[in-house]
Amino acid sequence: MLSENELIEGCRKGNRASQKALYDQYCRKMLVVCLRYSKTTAEGEDILQEGFVKVFNAIKDFRQESKLETWITRIMVNTALNIQRRKLYLYPMVDVEELNLPDTEVSVSGIHFSQLLEMIQTLPHGCQIVFNLFAIEGFSHKEIAEQLGISEGTSKSQFARAKSLMQAKLVKESTYYERYGEAKI
Amino acid sequence: MNDMERRKFEDSFQDAFRDAESSPSENVWTNIELDLEKADGDKMKRRLVFFKTLAAASIVFALCVAGIGYYVFQRSDMGNLAEGTTNARVISPQDQVKDETNTSAERNDNSAYAIEKEDAKASNSENQINKSVTPGADDSHVGKDELAAADSPSKKETRLSSSTPNKGNNRETVGGTIANGTTALIAADKNLNSTTPVTSQNDNTTTLNPTTSASSSRELPALYQPAEPELRLPVSTADPGMLLLAKLADEEKKYASKEKSQTKNKSENLWTSVGFAAGGVNANNRSVSSAPSNAFYLGNTASTASTQSKASGQSYSVGVSVGTKLSNRWVLQGGINYLTQSYDYTANSVVVVNNNFAAPKAASINLLSLDATANTTVAPTFPYNVNNNVRFVNVPLQAGYLLVNRKFGFQLNAGVSTDVFLQNTITPDGGSLAKTTQGSGDDSPYRSLNFSGLMGTEFSYRLGDRYRLSLNPGLRYPFSSVYKSDTGVNSTPLTFDVGLRFRYIFH
């Protein structure tokens, strides 16, 4: 098993075996990242493919100031955003009204990530991106606004809508769980 | 819902996806690999364009260098002739001779011209010389009036001066027609030991030598359009099925086997080549040291030996070679070449060896190797052109470093060559003097075996799997003088030539 440094060095030299080893090591985690920004598995795999090609082309510039996984994740997110930006150009993100949030506390514990993923994928385009960037990647609304070329208010309202939609789905899911006693996996 | 709860909500999502994994389908990596191959292909295309440009620039550079080299050789050759050509100023002891000389000088407009400015000074000094070397010889005295008369009417003239003392019956006059149809007098003394040195004032006759022109036809390697690798990508990878996977796997297999066979065919580990080269020789470093005890040398130190050793000319060679790769970048090449170098120089005397007056020889360094006791007689003449053709067999051994080793190749070479002297042929211009050929041995002034340093570059272009055409500009410099040390002449001529070689690659 090659160490991370050996993998990086091999990829820098264009060694195909090293590239394959790097791909095998990170493809599963990165696919989940890509799926969060896409509507279908095929779309997620397209992002994954494009992202890894970028990784192999740009790895010679990787200065190892951050973890390799973080760097690859960042490339995947950027690749996904590039693809989604084209869609956002067609369907511009606008301020949306915040839905009434349910008073009950909603928890995601005990729900499998694939269910959460399905929920995220069913969100509208703008909401899906902002929700991913804010709730999971940890960006601030200001940073999201700069990245997507929208106003900070739009980012906030999109997130609020995404959150309320997610909560509604989670409530529905928990009701189902209470009724049938197990999670729908 | 307060802020804490909101943060908790977001963190719970982060936790849920922290270690989440999902396996992608197999074809994702296949497509990534194809994308990377395509990117490599694009890089190759860019490199190919770069190398094509580099090849074109290199050829232009090589041609420029060859042109400049040729121009320098040409100029050097002209300079040598202007510097080395001698004006035969001999005062004839007989009016008849003078008349013949003047007449023939007028006939030969192309042979020489007198320098007007030096006439007065030269005539004074010649007068003194005449007085000192012709004591009491009434018939050999020539005064200023005669010199002046000879100077004035003719644009180009030659004054033949023979300061041979009058020894009555011992002197013979041999008239003969030599170069350019000029009639000259050979004043010879039967008794060699009592032969008075011929006083030949080697002054300032300048002749232009029209024969020093090099012609070298060079063929440039044609640039062919190389076959560019073509990658066929799947049209869509959105929803690849088993059929597509099978097809991709099959294509990959084919590509791998093709690449393997191509790699085998592209290897260049052993090759042989034939070729020829043409260029110029420049006697850039020559000297004439103290003379050996040889009658010819004593009489002509400043003229023939110097002129011949300064001569520049053309160099041609043909040969075969073999080469092998020592490592990825280093190659070793050896072979055998037939080299001929042709020099033109101007002589101003002829030599009679062993009283063979019927066949006088053109003055050359070859005569320096004659035995000191040989019976030689030298007579000054009008300047005439002589061609010296020297032939060698070379066994070069060179190491090369491949700077570029692709379809286009660029290589630096350096090594040594063992030069085996075969023969040299002295061919006087005009045909009235006999052509003489002398092989290696004790009689030859040339070293039988010499060593030269070689340095050069090689621009090559691969044609198919088995052939390569190369252009080889290079320098050759002898480590020691091409002449034997006992001749007293030291010359290490620098050769610059451009070779064209056709290489066959063994697999």
Residue entry with tokens 């929208």: A150
Which of A21-35, A89-103, B289-303, B377-391 is predicted with the least confidence, judged by mean pLDDT? B289-303
Would the CB atoms of A27 and B23 count as touching at under 8 Å? yes
CA B296 vs. chain centroid, Å, equals 30
| A113-180 has CATH 1.10.10.10 classification | yes
Question: Does B3 touch chain A if contact means CB atoms closer than 8 Å?
Answer: no
Instruction: Please give the average per-residue pLDDT across B127-147, as a whole number.
Output: 42
Model confidence at B205, in pLDDT bands (50, 70, 90)? very low
Q: What is the pLDDT of residue A160?
A: 87
Do residues B395 and B440 lie in contact, with contact meaning Cβ atoms separated by under 8 Å? no
Distance CA B131, CA B147 (A): 14
Instruction: Please give the average per-residue pLDDT across B464-484, as a whole number.
Output: 90
Model confidence at B399, in pLDDT bands (50, 70, 90)? very high
Q: How far apart, in Å, are the Cα atoms of B279 and each of B474, B498, B506?
A: 9, 6, 30
Q: What is the pLDDT of residue A32?
A: 94
Q: What is the pLDDT of residue B120?
A: 41
Instruction: Tell me whether domains A4-90 and A113-180 share a fold.
Output: no
Q: Residue A49 is nearest to which of B14, B23, B28, comparing CB atoms?
A: B28
Would the CB atoms of A48 and B10 count as touching at under 8 Å? no
pLDDT at residue B59 greater than cutoff 70: yes
B414 burial via Cβ count (<10 Å: 0-12, 13-18, 19+): middle
Q: What is the pLDDT of residue B346?
A: 81
Q: What is the pLDDT of residue B190?
A: 41
Burial per residue of A135-173, b for 16 or more beta-carbon CB atoms within 10 angstroms, e otherwise: bbbebebeebbebbebeeebbbbbbbbbbbbbbbbbeeb
CA distance B231 to chain A (A): 17
The helix/strand count (H/E) of chain B reads as: 8, 17
Q: Give the chain B residue whose CA is nearest to the CA of A100.
A: B1
pLDDT at residue B288 greater than cutoff 90: no
Model confidence at B368, in pLDDT bands (50, 70, 90)? low
Would the CB atoms of A109 and B22 count as touching at under 8 Å? no
CA distance B14 to chain A (A): 5
CA distance B328 to chain A (A): 18
Distance CA B419, CA A113 (A): 84
Q: What is the pLDDT of residue B189?
A: 41
pLDDT > 90 in chain A, percent: 38
Q: Which residue has the higher pLDDT, B366 or B342?
A: B342
pLDDT at residue B57 greater than cutoff 80: yes
Instruction: Please give the average per-residue pLDDT across B176-186, as a whole number.
Output: 40
Do residues B154 and B99 lie in contact, with contact meaning Cβ atoms separated by under 8 Å? no
Q: Residue A28 is nearest to which of B10, B12, B21, comparing CB atoms?
A: B21
Q: What is the pLDDT of residue B26?
A: 87
Task: Domain ranges for chain A, please list them.
Answer: 4-90, 113-180
Closest CA to B60 of B217, B222, B220, B214: B220
Q: Residue A53 is nearest to which of B16, B17, B35, comparing CB atoms?
A: B35
Instruction: Please give the average per-residue pLDDT across B250-277, as a whole number.
Output: 82
Closest CA to B495 of B458, B459, B469, B456: B456
Question: Does A138 touch chain B if contact means CB atoms closer than 8 Å?
Answer: yes
Q: Give the chain A residue whose CA is nearest to the CA of B23.
A: A28
Distance CA A40, CA B415 (A): 68
Do residues B86 and B376 lie in contact, with contact meaning Cβ atoms separated by under 8 Å? no
Q: What is the pLDDT of residue A93?
A: 62
Which of B147-151, B425-429, B452-456 is predicted with the least confidence, judged by mean pLDDT? B147-151
Would the CB atoms of B32 and A163 count as touching at under 8 Å? no
Reported CATH class of domain A4-90: mainly alpha
Residue B320 bridge partners (DSSP):
B274, B336
Mean pLDDT computed over every residue of chain B: 70
* pTM more than 0.80: no
pLDDT at residue B476 greater than cutoff 60: yes
Chain B positions touching A106 (Cβ under 8 A) are 9
Do residues A174 and A114 lie in contact, with contact meaning Cβ atoms separated by under 8 Å? no
Domains in chain B with CATH codes: 52-82+260-506 (2.40.160.20), 88-202 (no CATH)
Q: Report H helices in B144-271.
A: 144-151, 242-266
Model confidence at B226, in pLDDT bands (50, 70, 90)? low
Would the CB atoms of A163 and B9 count as touching at under 8 Å? yes
Q: Give the chain B residue whose CA is nearest to the CA of A16.
A: B33
Model confidence at A100, in pLDDT bands (50, 70, 90)? low
Q: What is the pLDDT of residue B3?
A: 54
Mean pLDDT computed over every residue of chain A: 83
Q: Residue B5 is nearest to which of A57, A105, A135, comparing CB atoms?
A: A105
Burial per residue of B116-127, b for 16 or more beta-carbon CB atoms within 10 angstroms, e otherwise: eeeeeebbeebb
Q: Compute how many other C-beta atoms are within 10 angstroms of the C-beta atom of residue B65.
A: 14
pLDDT at residue A14 greater than cutoff 60: yes
Q: Residue B22 is nearest to which of A19, A35, A49, comparing CB atoms?
A: A35
Q: Which residue has the higher pLDDT, A27 or A167?
A: A27
Give the mutation candidate from A127, A136, A144 for the B interface (greatest B CB count, under 10 A).
A136
Q: What is the pLDDT of residue B293?
A: 46
Do residues B143 and B132 lie in contact, with contact meaning Cβ atoms separated by under 8 Å? no
CA A47 vs. chain centroid, Å, equals 11
ipTM value, please give it.
0.83
Which of B44-58, B104-118, B309-323 is predicted with the least confidence, judged by mean pLDDT? B104-118
Which of B176-190, B394-408, B440-454 is predicted with the least confidence, judged by mean pLDDT? B176-190
Which of B77-81, B185-189, B427-431 is predicted with the least confidence, judged by mean pLDDT? B185-189
Per mean pLDDT, which of A133-137, A160-164, B205-209, B414-418 is the most reliable? B414-418
pLDDT at residue B50 greater than cutoff 50: yes
Model confidence at A51, in pLDDT bands (50, 70, 90)? very high
pLDDT tens for B482-492 read 888 877 778 88
Q: What is the pLDDT of residue B341?
A: 92
Would the CB atoms of B22 and A57 count as touching at under 8 Å? no
Do residues B206 and B113 lie in contact, with contact meaning Cβ atoms separated by under 8 Å? yes
Q: Which residues contact B287 (CB under 8 A, 6 or more apart)?
A: B309, B489, B490, B491
Q: Compute how many other C-beta atoms are within 10 angstroms of the C-beta atom of residue B59.
A: 17
Distance CA A122, CA B466 (A): 62
Instruction: Please give the average per-residue pLDDT across B199-226, as a whole number.
Output: 48
Q: What is the pLDDT of residue B459?
A: 93
Question: Does A31 touch chain B if contact means CB atoms closer than 8 Å?
Answer: yes
Which of A81-90, A149-158, B297-306 is predicted with the least confidence, judged by mean pLDDT? B297-306
Model confidence at B209, in pLDDT bands (50, 70, 90)? very low
Residue entry with tokens 């041979």: B164
Do residues B461 and B468 lie in contact, with contact meaning Cβ atoms separated by under 8 Å? yes
Q: Which residue has the higher pLDDT, B93 or B447?
A: B447
Q: What is the pLDDT of residue B271?
A: 92
Q: Hey, what are B278's tokens?
A: 């043409």
Give the mutation candidate from A29, A43, A49 for the B interface (greatest B CB count, under 10 A).
A49
Which of A23-32, B78-87, B94-103 is predicted with the least confidence, judged by mean pLDDT? B94-103
Distance CA B55, CA B115 (A): 52
Closest CA to A32 of B21, B28, B11, B13: B21
Instruction: Please give the average per-residue pLDDT across B91-97, as a whole number.
Output: 46
Q: What is the pLDDT of residue B372?
A: 57
Q: Residue A45 is nearest to which of B16, B20, B28, comparing CB atoms?
A: B28
Phi and psi of B466, rounded to 5°?
-120, -5
Q: If you ran DSSP here, which 8-state letter would residue B194 be given?
A: G
Q: Compute how many other C-beta atoms are within 10 angstroms of the C-beta atom of residue B354.
A: 11
